[in-house]
């Protein structure tokens, strides 16, 4: 059936995201939800109190378009405290509606009709549609399981005169990998070779999981790279760092020229972000300046708990280096597509997880991997693991007896 002109879709192939679909199915099935990436535990009561304080203090009207001035100063201070470069809050930081809006605004600011943007699959689902809405072409470069390492030679081979943007996600959702210093150097070399001319390459670094790093790893940010800092947008999320995904507050750090262009889009898109929530975060950072330092250990304990409880389940768990997810190879339990496996798991084990194939433009049909979120109460993780172990024992046991 063809659509009439009034309903012609600009994104005809885009449906509801797999995350929303699986969360909806989890409710329908009464399943334990370790699929979608959001915490199911309460927020710090001190943070909740900061909202009341902010509202009482009168932060109830439009916030400045660029973001609460003192919040931006606090962000700059936190960046320096974490060992990052000095950032000018006035000209280099913009508060956005979650990290998602920074990603969208940066893409609209950079990509013009006919331009090409490189993304690495598995890719977070917000990149491709935003590139296409800008009139650009999204070039998908696969990262192969199980290591998901960058092949920069391959990237080089895909560059054209139209390449305008390269998007990296570090730490990576859903691969749970982190980029190395050598990866950033290789990316910088690609940008350098193109030169600054009138068609430079801009980098968009999705660093929303910057603090969710495991086993003593340090985050390699484009912001601190001597070359990349001058040509990159770096995107962050208080949703991830303070466990408040529903507040929808994130920010973008970029040099003044790139920030100016981003704000031109942001100004007519979100315009400004919820005033009491920005002020509440500012107050909280003032009262708990080290809140972000606890994030790695907090999620690392949850990752370890889930991994320990899934031992013997038949799932093979590659080491997660960062992000608040854990991948699981289920090939010892079932030989079916990942979408089919997640369906079986939700129907039969009452556990919701996320298949990996929707993160790829061209998924490998032989891939047998699903993603579990560790940002859940310990009880949720224990129950999910118990149900998966039971399901697996029943299946592998019945296979043995048949
Ligand atoms: C890789 C990645 N980027 C960006 C986002 C969006 O962050 P926010 O919820 O702050 O919009 C997410 C959220 O899950 C994510 O996983």
- The reply to whether ligand 1 has any atom less than 6 angstroms from the CB of 241 is no
Q: Do 98 and 75 meet the contact criterion of CB atoms below 8 Å apart?
A: no
Q: How confident is the model at residue 6 (pLDDT cuts 50, 70, 90)?
A: low
pLDDT for position 238: 98
Closest-lying ligand 1 atom to the alpha carbon of residue 239: 10
pLDDT for position 400: 40
Q: Residue 360 gets which letter from DSSP? A: -
Helix (H, G, I), strand (E, B) or coil at 86: coil
Q: How confident is the model at residue 216 (pLDDT cuts 50, 70, 90)?
A: very high
User: How many A from CA of 376 to the centre of ligand 1?
Assistant: 16
User: How many A from CA of 234 to the centre of ligand 1?
Assistant: 13
122-177: per-residue pLDDT in tens?
Answer: 999 999 999 999 999 999 999 999 999 999 999 999 999 999 999 999 999 999 99
pLDDT for position 364: 94
Q: Do 273 and 97 meet the contact criterion of CB atoms below 8 Å apart?
A: yes
What proportion of the chain, given as a percentage, has pLDDT over 90?
A: 90
Closest-lying ligand 1 atom to the alpha carbon of residue 248: 10
pLDDT for position 126: 95
User: How many A from CA of 36 to the centre of ligand 1?
Assistant: 11
Rounded-to-integer distance, Cα 190 and Cα 208, Å: 24
User: How many A from CA of 222 to the centre of ligand 1?
Assistant: 17
Rounded-to-integer distance, Cα 352 and Cα 354, Å: 7
Q: Model pTM? A: 0.96
Of the candidates 366, 390, 262, 240, the one whose C-alpha atom is nearest the C-alpha of residue 315 is 390
- The reply to whether ligand 1 has any atom less than 6 angstroms from the CB of 171 is no
- Average pLDDT on 95-107 reads 98
- The reply to whether ligand 1 has any atom less than 6 angstroms from the CB of 325 is no
From 94, 106, 124, mutation site for ligand 1 pocket: most ligand atoms within 8 A of C-beta: 124
Write the CA distances from 357 to 123, 205, 229, 286, 367, integer angstroms.
Answer: 10, 22, 32, 42, 8
Nearest CA to ligand 1 atom 13: 37
- The reply to whether ligand 1 has any atom less than 6 angstroms from the CB of 35 is no
Assigned token pair, 183: 């990866």
β pairing state of 369-373 and 93-97: unpaired
Rounded-to-integer distance, Cα 104 and Cα 9, Å: 19
User: How many A from CA of 247 to the centre of ligand 1?
Assistant: 12
- The reply to whether ligand 1 has any atom less than 6 angstroms from the CB of 124 is yes
Residues 6 or more apart in contact with residue 240 via CB below 8 angstroms: 99, 208, 209, 211, 212, 324
Write the CA distances from 395 to 331, 336, 387, integer angstroms.
Answer: 12, 13, 12
User: How many A from CA of 125 to the centre of ligand 1?
Assistant: 9
From 37, 97, 100, 176, mutation site for ligand 1 pocket: most ligand atoms within 8 A of C-beta: 100
Closest-lying ligand 1 atom to the alpha carbon of residue 249: 10
Of the candidates 11, 37, 61, 25, the one whose C-alpha atom is nearest the C-alpha of residue 326 is 37
Of the candidates 325, 344, 348, 346, the one whose C-alpha atom is nearest the C-alpha of residue 334 is 344
Rounded-to-integer distance, Cα 345 and Cα 387, Å: 9
- The reply to whether ligand 1 has any atom less than 6 angstroms from the CB of 174 is no
Other beta carbons within 10 angstroms of residue 61's beta carbon come to 8
DSSP assignment of 270-321 equals T-S--HHHHHHHHHHHHH-TTGGGGHHHHHHHHHHHHHHHTTTSS-B-PPP-
112-134: per-residue pLDDT in tens?
Answer: 999 999 999 999 999 999 999 99
Closest-lying ligand 1 atom to the alpha carbon of residue 240: 10
- The reply to whether ligand 1 has any atom less than 6 angstroms from the CB of 239 is yes
310-354: per-residue pLDDT in tens?
Answer: 999 999 999 999 999 999 999 999 999 999 999 999 999 999 999
Strands in 137-142's sheet, in edge-to-edge order, are: 93-97, 249-253, 232-237, 202-206, 163-169, 116-121, 137-142
364-384: per-residue pLDDT in tens?
Answer: 999 999 999 999 999 999 999
Assigned token pair, 282: 């500012």
User: How many A from CA of 206 to the centre of ligand 1?
Assistant: 8
């Amino acid at each position: 059936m063809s659509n009439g002109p009034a309903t012609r879709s600009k994104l005809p192939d885009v449906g509801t995201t797999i995350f929303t679909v699986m969360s909806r199915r989890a409710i329908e099935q009464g399943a334990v939800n370790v699929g979608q990436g959001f915490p199911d535990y309460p927020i710090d009561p001190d943070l909740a109190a900061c909202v009341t304080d902010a509202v009482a203090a009168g932060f109830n009207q439009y916030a400045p378009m660029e973001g609460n001035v003192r919040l931006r100063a606090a962000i700059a201070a936190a960046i320096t405290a974490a060992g990052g470069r000095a950032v000018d809050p006035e000209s280099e930081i913009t508060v956005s509606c979650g990290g998602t809006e920074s990603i969208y605004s940066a893409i609209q600011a950079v990509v013009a009709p006919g331009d090409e943007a490189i993304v690495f699959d598995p890719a977070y689902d917000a990149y491709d549609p935003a590139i296409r809405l800008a009139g650009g072409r999204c070039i998908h470069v696969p990262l192969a399981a199980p290591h998901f390492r960058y092949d920069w030679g391959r990237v080089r081979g895909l560059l054209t005169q139209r390449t305008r943007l390269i998007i990296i996600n570090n730490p990576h959702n859903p691969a749970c990998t982190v980029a190395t210093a050598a990866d950033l150097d290789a990316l910088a070399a690609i940008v350098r070779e193109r030169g600054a001319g009138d068609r430079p390459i801009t980098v968009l670094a999705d660093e929303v999981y910057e603090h969710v790093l495991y086993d003593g790893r340090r985050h390699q940010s484009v912001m601190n790279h001597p070359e990349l800092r001058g040509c990159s947008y770096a995107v962050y999320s208080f949703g991830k760092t303070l466990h408040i995904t529903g507040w929808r507050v994130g920010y973008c750090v970029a040099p003044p020229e790139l920030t100016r262009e981003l704000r031109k889009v942001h100004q007519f898109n979100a315009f400004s972000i919820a005033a009491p929530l920005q002020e509440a975060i500012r107050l909280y950072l003032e009262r708990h300046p080290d809140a972000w330092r606890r994030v790695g250990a907090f999620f690392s304990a949850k990752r370890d708990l889930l991994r320990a409880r899934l031992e013997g389940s038949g799932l093979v768990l590659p080491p997660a280096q960062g992000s608040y997810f854990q991948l699981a190879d289920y090939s010892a339990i079932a030989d079916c597509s990942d979408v089919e496996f997640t369906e079986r798991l939700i129907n039969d084990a009452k556990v919701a997880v996320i298949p990996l194939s929707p993160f790829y433009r061209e998924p490998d049909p032989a891939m047998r991997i699903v993603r579990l979120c560790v940002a859940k109460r310990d009880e949720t993780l224990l129950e999910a693991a118990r149900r998966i172990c039971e399901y697996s024992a029943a299946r592998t046991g019945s296979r043995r007896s048949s």
